[in-house]
Amino acid sequence: MALLEGVDGLIAGTELLDRNVLSCAPNLKVISRCGTGLDNVDLEAAAKFGIRIYNTPEALADGVSELALAGILNVLRRVSYADRLIRQGQWEKPMGRLLRGKTVGIVGLGRIGKALVKLLQPFLVTVLAHDPVQDEAFAHQYGVQYCPLDVLLAQADIVTLHLTYSSECYHLLDRSRLAAMKPGAILVNCARGGLVDEQALYEFLKAGKLAGAYLDVFEQEPYRGPFTELANVILTSHIGSYAAECRLRMEVEAVGNLLRYFREEAGR
């Protein structure tokens, strides 16, 4: 609130910009979010106060999609687990699995999901996708099969989430849907923590119903929960956009959005 006093434009991160905060910034005209998600911004309040909102959806597609692929390969080949064993003085050879030939289910086939599809091409995987907006031309070009979510969960060896978060998507993967996943499947979440029922996921992973998970996002961050106890889970600290090239592009786009707004306003 102190930072926003007298400010006309804000380049925002993931800090909470709710009605209470925005009401203390009477001069604020534009918020340029450095990133894609807007769940930290009270869009209704922003509209009421006449604040324009921008984000940078193009910039982080490569960063998040490459991280998702890294997480998939890490869990399948148990790279981090083998690393931990060596550091503990143990020379064991954990058996892993190949990505080649698997069925990958992508929930949310937007910019990031499509970037991941392209990265997966050399692995000769079957790609299933669930998205309310279907890009048939893209699906035809890259061999993607659209299907209902329940079908995707039942058939995919790897389920990876790449959709934006909203209250309607809270616990999209709840206990019943996690239970419906293919036995031995892997879950990857580089989108938002609220999309998954974390307690249910923990129980299925601990029991071996699911083979593993890679989680970059959590309902409460910083994360201090029970996933840290499990050897079949890879955890990272919300680093989807934390590649130098990706961050630079995001920041340049965020500044560009801010400048474009003020130039347009000046030209009216």
Distance CA 94, CA 78 (A): 7
248 and 139 fall within a common domain? no
Q: What mean pLDDT do residues 242-246 have?
A: 94
Q: Is 164's pLDDT higher than 90?
A: no
Check which CATH number belongs to the domain holding 90 and give it: 3.40.50.720
Tell me, yes or no, whether 170 lies in a domain: yes
95 and 224 fall within a common domain? yes
Listed residue (247, 266, 191, 263) closest to 56, CA to CA: 247
Structure tokens belonging to residue 127: 């790609």
Percent of the chain having pLDDT more than 70?
A: 100
Q: Is 221 a catalytic residue?
A: yes
216 and 248 fall within a common domain? no
Q: Is 238 a catalytic residue?
A: yes
Tell me, yes or no, whether 4 lies in a domain: no
Q: Is the dihedral of CA 191, 197, 202, 208 positive or negative?
A: negative
Distance CA 123, CA 117 (A): 10
Query: Considering 5, 15, 92, 221, which one is annotated as catalytic?
Result: 221
- Please check whether residue 24 is in contact with residue 1, taking contact to mean a CB–CB distance below 8 angstroms: yes
209 and 76 fall within a common domain? yes
46 and 73 fall within a common domain? no
47 and 82 fall within a common domain? no
Query: Considering 192, 198, 249, 253, which one is annotated as catalytic?
Result: 192
255 and 154 fall within a common domain? no
Distance CA 152, CA 129 (A): 7
Q: Is 33 a catalytic residue?
A: no
Q: Is 63's pLDDT higher than 80?
A: yes
- Return the number of other C-beta atoms located less than 10 Å from residue 90's C-beta: 9
Contacts of 98 (CB under 8 A, 6+ apart): 76
32: containing domain: 9-58+243-267
Q: What is the tally of structural domains in the chain?
A: 2
88 and 124 fall within a common domain? yes
pTM as predicted: 0.89
**19-51: pLDDT as tens digits:** 999 999 999 999 999 988 888 899 999 999 999
Coil vs helix vs strand at 56: coil
Query: Considering 52, 97, 238, 247, which one is annotated as catalytic?
Result: 238
147 and 116 fall within a common domain? yes
**250-260: pLDDT as tens digits:** 999 999 999 99
